[in-house]
Amino acid sequence: MVSRALTLATLLAAVQLSGCSVLRSYDSELQETNQQLAAGNIDAALALLESNNKGEQKDLLYYFEKGELLRSKGDLVGSQLAWLSADSVVLQWEDAVKLDTGKYLSQFGSYLVNDKVRRYEGYDYEKVMLSTQMALNLLAQNDFDGARTEIKKTHEREAVIAELRDKEYLKREEDAERQGIKTEYKDLQGYPVASLDAPEVVSLKNSYQSAFSHYLSGFVYEALGEKGLAAPGYRKAAELRPNTPLLDQALLALDKNSAKPGESDVLVVVQSGLAPARDSIRVPLPLPIDNQLVIVPLSFPIIRDDTSTAPLSEIYLDDKALALTLLNSTNAMSRRALRDDMPGIILRTSVRGISRGVAQHNLNKTNPMAGLVLGLASAVVEGADTRTWRTLPDQTQVVRLRLAPGEHQLSLPTRLGGAQVKVKIDRPYQVVSLRVVGNRVFAGGPAVEVAPQAPAQAVAALK
């Protein structure tokens, strides 16, 4: 009787779990949303996002994605509102970290909870990119003072993250030593190690500092006449991306007043592609269960590249080609975040695998049926966390130039659809932001006007 009740309870737990967010496939939800975005159906993409987030309590990811979709639509006010909601979630996280870092780390490092069941807190680079994207929204409306506030927030956020990660890595090393887990991601058989060891990933100083964010800081401070703050912006950008002439030049030009009267200092920002997806891969790992080494298949996250948009190296201004300088790659940052997180993921997954293995082993002895159900439930539930901000642009490239006030024509290479954007220059300093997904260009604000593009294509639903 007792064993039947136990079996039933285990079965019920499995059914309940399958109904909850554990089985939510964020990857397929956003794959469809991004297809709509790339096809130019932004309203359809927004409708999909809403239909996938019907609950009253929206999570951070919902606001991340909504802000980016509304930005692509040209609704900068709506985008900013959505991102302000995301920002308040990030601020709560910052407060929790600042108030008691130790407590936060011990909660986050809990071995009992699967990563994908945790409340989504956003990756560090997403938090930094959030305030950067918010600054771009404000700059598209020529609000440099507002952008300054967002930029200052980015510096402060970076400092909180840096301190937290310092403590986290130290704690993790101690935990791994205590638990006796020595596995590294390089030891995982069949795991795509090369993707985490790529030169563009290893060369990053960390996963969250963006050369683009700092360069943009420099530009905004310079525009506001605060050279004392502009200099560290350009300097930090140059440290994060060494040997980039654009960055070295910005620092040198800061002390020279090379602007000719009547000319505008214009920064063209081209953000293309989409952030990579996170997928789950099963890797068999030998774990010590009941004094025996048992091979247990465990799930680990991997990064899957976005292929929606062809690489872009130049744009045309009034039919003259302008070379773009890459300052930010979300793909590389995302890989770096995973690379840095992998020791913690391995530790948590292994400890959970061991405790599950022990529980199943004990259950098998008393009730093989319940043991089987637990095994099945574990197989269903166990999977890597695949949530990540997917509409975030992958590459951020810039070109800085001096332009005469008036109207100018920006265009994309013909292999990317050759979209035309009319730009009105009427300020001493101006930022022009373009978003490229697939063959489409999106832009918002009073200074830009995208010429009509091919009608949006219908996208067949995946489901």
Partner 1 sequence: MFARISLAAIAIALVSGCSTPSPVLGGKNISYGDNKAVELVTNEFGSTDLQMIAESMTRSLAQSGVLSGRPVVQVYDVKNKTSEYIDTREITTSIKTQLMKSGVARFASDNNAMQSQVDQLKLQNQSGLYKKNTVAKTGNMIAAQYRLEGSISSIVKRSSDYKDVFYKFSLQLIDVESGLAEWMDEKEIRKTTER
Q: Does 8 bind partner 1 (CB under 8 A)?
A: no
Q: Does 297 bind partner 1 (CB under 8 A)?
A: no
Q: Does 422 bind partner 1 (CB under 8 A)?
A: no
Neighbours of 41 (CB within 10 A): 18
**Alpha helices of 227-287 — where are they, by DSSP H?**
227-240, 245-255
Angle at 120 (CA atoms; ends 118, 126), nearest 5 degrees: 145
Neighbours of 167 (CB within 10 A): 14
If the CB atoms of residues 239 and 449 are measured against partner 1, the closer one turns out to be 239
HEC readout, 366-410: HCHHHHHHHHHHHHHHCCCCCCCCCCCCCEEEEEEEEECCEEEEE
If the CB atoms of residues 222 and 341 are measured against partner 1, the closer one turns out to be 222
CB 334 within 8 A of CB 123: yes
If the CB atoms of residues 228 and 262 are measured against partner 1, the closer one turns out to be 228
Q: Does 242 bind partner 1 (CB under 8 A)?
A: no
One of 233, 301, 353, 444 touching partner 1 (CB under 8 A): 233
User: For the CA atoms of the chain, what is the radius of gyration?
Assistant: 24
- CB of residue 155 to partner 1, shortest distance in Å: 5
Name the one range near partner 1 by CB under 8 A: 155-163, 271-279, 284-292, 453-461.
155-163
One of 239, 248, 279, 314 touching partner 1 (CB under 8 A): 239
CB 208 within 8 A of CB 163: no
Among left, alpha and beta (phi > 0; psi -120 to 50; other), residue 405 is beta
Q: Does 59 bind partner 1 (CB under 8 A)?
A: no
Q: Does 155 bind partner 1 (CB under 8 A)?
A: yes
- CB of residue 236 to partner 1, shortest distance in Å: 5
- CB of residue 239 to partner 1, shortest distance in Å: 6
Q: Does 228 bind partner 1 (CB under 8 A)?
A: yes
If the CB atoms of residues 154 and 360 are measured against partner 1, the closer one turns out to be 154
Q: Does 454 bind partner 1 (CB under 8 A)?
A: no
If the CB atoms of residues 254 and 302 are measured against partner 1, the closer one turns out to be 254
Q: How far is CA 58 from CA 30, 118, 251, in A?
A: 16, 14, 42
Name the one range near partner 1 by CB under 8 A: 4-12, 158-166, 298-306, 354-362.
158-166
Dist. CA 115–CA 162, nearest whole Å: 22
Name the one range near partner 1 by CB under 8 A: 174-182, 203-211, 223-231, 400-408.
223-231
DSSP helix/strand/coil, 442:
strand
If the CB atoms of residues 156 and 200 are measured against partner 1, the closer one turns out to be 156
If the CB atoms of residues 214 and 387 are measured against partner 1, the closer one turns out to be 214
Q: Does 262 bind partner 1 (CB under 8 A)?
A: no
Total binding residues toward partner 1, as defined by CB under 8 A: 18
HEC readout, 139-194: HHCCCHHHHHHHHHHHHHHHHHHHHHHHHHHHHHHHHHHHHCCCCCHHHCCCCCHH
Neighbours of 417 (CB within 10 A): 17
If the CB atoms of residues 43 and 100 are measured against partner 1, the closer one turns out to be 100
- CB of residue 231 to partner 1, shortest distance in Å: 5
- CB of residue 160 to partner 1, shortest distance in Å: 10
- CB of residue 327 to partner 1, shortest distance in Å: 17
Of 38, 332, 42, the closest CA to residue 211 belongs to 332
Q: Does 210 bind partner 1 (CB under 8 A)?
A: no
Q: Does 103 bind partner 1 (CB under 8 A)?
A: no
Q: Does 166 bind partner 1 (CB under 8 A)?
A: yes
Q: Does 226 bind partner 1 (CB under 8 A)?
A: yes
Q: How far is CA 13 from CA 240, 376, 382, 435, in A?
A: 48, 11, 14, 45
Q: How many helices (H) and strands (E) does the chain have?
A: 15, 12
CB 203 within 8 A of CB 118: no
Dist. CA 309–CA 276, nearest whole Å: 12
One of 12, 15, 91, 170 touching partner 1 (CB under 8 A): 170
CB 314 within 8 A of CB 323: yes
- CB of residue 218 to partner 1, shortest distance in Å: 10
DSSP-derived pairing of the beta strands 325-329 and 277-289: unpaired
Q: Does 159 bind partner 1 (CB under 8 A)?
A: yes
If the CB atoms of residues 159 and 323 are measured against partner 1, the closer one turns out to be 159
One of 225, 311, 368, 446 touching partner 1 (CB under 8 A): 225
Q: Which residues bind partner 1 (CB under 8 A)?
A: 152, 155, 159, 163, 166, 170, 217, 225-229, 231-233, 235-236, 239
